[in-house]
Amino acid sequence: MWDGVLPDVTLLVEWPEGAEAPTDYWLSNLPADTPHAELVRPAKIRWRIEHDYRELKHGLGLDHFEGRSWAGWHHHVTLVTAARAFLTEQRLAPKADTADSPSTRSSTPSRTC
């Protein structure tokens, strides 16, 4: 049951140095003694989440499902998520040093008759 009293919140304002006005605002219901870094992290993580969602939709086809069953949708989302995990792993993997390791591909195209 609501008693009509609003909870205390903290206003977090992003105002870059040299800007004429603030660029963003957030309200937080974390305790008043929460360190600034802990207030900023969840506020700024939203950008990362939106970026990842946009990549899932446009880059990996999350929004291309046209089926009618929950199982089909679940399989589609699972495969898109697995593809995203694979691509992230590939992006974060250390790159092989090309100077020390010989190439497995020939520099000239092979001919088959």
Q: Radius of gyration of the chain from Cα atoms?
A: 24
pLDDT of residue 106 exceeding 80: no
Q: Nearest to residue 14, comparing CAs of 48, 44, 42, 38?
A: 44
pLDDT of residue 39 exceeding 80: yes
Maximum Cα–Cα distance across the chain: 84
Burial class (CB in 10 A: 0-12, 13-18, 19+), 89: exposed
| Cα–Cα distance measured from residue 71 to residue 88, given in angstroms and rounded to the nearest whole number | 26
Tell me the per-residue pLDDT of 52-100, one tens digit each, with 9 for 90 and over.
Answer: 889 899 889 999 888 889 999 999 999 999 999 999 999 999 886 656 5
Residues with Cβ within 8 Å of 67's Cβ and at least 6 positions away in sequence, in order, are: 73, 76
What is the per-residue pLDDT for 69?
93
